[in-house]
Amino acid sequence: MQSHGNIHTVEAILAREDTSAQIPVLDTGFDKDTLLMPPYYANSVPTADILITVQPNERRNDQANDDNWITVPSQKTKPREHRHTYRPYESHFLVYLKQVSAIPRDVAYWHDDKHLIIRDKFPKSIFHLLVLPRMRIDRVTDLHGPGGINCVRQLQERGQWLIHRLQEEQRSNGLPVPEFRMGFHIIPSMIQLHLHVISQDFVADALTKKNHWNSFTTDFFVEPETVIKVINEKGYFAMTPEELYRFKRLLDRPLLCHRCSIRLVNMTELKNHLKRHLAENEETN
């Protein structure tokens, strides 16, 4: 089986000269968990119209051909922190933070005063759930310092609790016990930090594109321990546009099976191959 969560690969992408002066760890006065977020997030969850700062027709020329609006500075350009612009549909999670009753029944799973667990609306595996902190944090690259580490630790613990619960349910029903991974997408598709808890079968119907596959089976999918390690070493997990571009390129990698590393030609071939792995796993269980 191919190893996952390769910290060394992530470190290679992040390797650069010291840029601590270029990406400051901001003190916003938000004392609770001391997380990196603008001050106006502290007392309320902003609505989508506050979040959208650039409309599609306002893209700069160097962003015109980039769906994720990531630019790579030239060698002479001072690196600057990436500012992602979100579309309205990407803010659904913010409503859930403010009003749990707004979560659709087929999506809701569990919540307490610190975390939400919801089912992914477009699951990429048989089991695919998301663990969200109920404090407003946009993305994993917004985390820094002891507060950021504490946030990741809490999400990780709740994710482990969830995995144990799902596996016990399968075991008690005499069904195969799935293997899971937890991780964050470096460039998320939705606002609000969320930890993916996903079984490793990847046979769900919503897995249809190469970028779907590579977002979960390359270092684009970063495990909690890797985030904690980077924050411990650097003080933050923020990235420059150049670093984000390197991660984004991982989505274009060839289709490689995460279990046997065989290269597949297309998604149809990959899905059939994965179904064979699932059948073999069910036989051994």
E strands, 71-127, are 108-111, 115-119
Integer Cα distance of 195 and 104 in angstroms:
19
Q: At what angle do helices 267-284 and 210-217 cross, to 10 degrees?
A: 50
Question: Stretch 93-120: mean pLDDT, rounded?
Answer: 96
Q: How far is 5 from 186, CA to CA, in rounded Å?
A: 13
What is the rounded CA–CA span in Å between residue 161 and residue 81?
34
pLDDT at 270: 98
For the packed helices 224-234 and 7-14, what is the interaxial angle rounded to 10 degrees?
40
Please determine, for residue 37, whether its predicted confidence score (pLDDT) is greater than 70.
no
Superfamily of domain 7-254: HIT-like (3.30.428.10)
CB within 8 Å of 178: residues ≥ 6 apart: 126, 127, 166, 167, 170, 199, 200, 201
* pLDDT at residue 16, rounded to an integer: 52
**pLDDT attached to residue 19:** 39
Question: What's the CA angle centered on 129, arms 127 and 130, to 5 degrees?
Answer: 160
Residue 254 in contact with residue 182, Cβ under 8 Å?
Answer: no
Give the model's pLDDT for residue 281.
Answer: 84
Instruction: Report the chain's mean pLDDT, rounded to a whole number.
Output: 79
Average the pLDDT over each of 52-61, 171-180, 196-205, 209-218 and give the range with the smallest value.
52-61
pLDDT score of 175: 95
pLDDT-wise least confident of 13-27, 93-107, 141-155, 240-254: 13-27
Residue range 266-271: average pLDDT? 98
Which of 16-20, 45-49, 119-123 has the highest average model confidence (pLDDT)? Answer: 119-123
Q: Region 252-267: what's the mean pLDDT? A: 97
Q: Which pLDDT band holds residue 57 (cuts at 50, 70, 90)?
A: very low
Number of H helices, E strands in the chain: 8, 8
Q: Where are the domains of the chain?
A: 7-254
231 phi and psi angles, rounded to 5 deg: -65, -40
Q: Which of 82, 185, 194, 196 is catalytic?
A: 194
Token duo for residue 45: 């969850």
Sign of CA dihedral 229, 232, 233, 237: positive
pLDDT score of 80 more than 70:
no
Q: Collect contacts of 61-70 with beta carbons under 8 A, ≥24 apart.
A: 68/187, 68/248, 70/187, 70/241, 70/244, 70/245, 70/248
How remote is the C-alpha of 237 from its chain's centroid? 13
Whether the full predicted model's pTM is greater than 0.85, yes or no, is: no
Q: Any catalytic annotation for residue 273?
A: no
Which pairing describes strands 180-185 and 221-222: parallel, antiparallel, or unpaired? Answer: antiparallel
How high is the pLDDT of residue 11? 66
- Higher local confidence (pLDDT), 241 or 85: 241
What pLDDT shows up at residue 282?
84
CA distances from 58 to 29, 61, 93, 228 (A): 32, 9, 25, 36
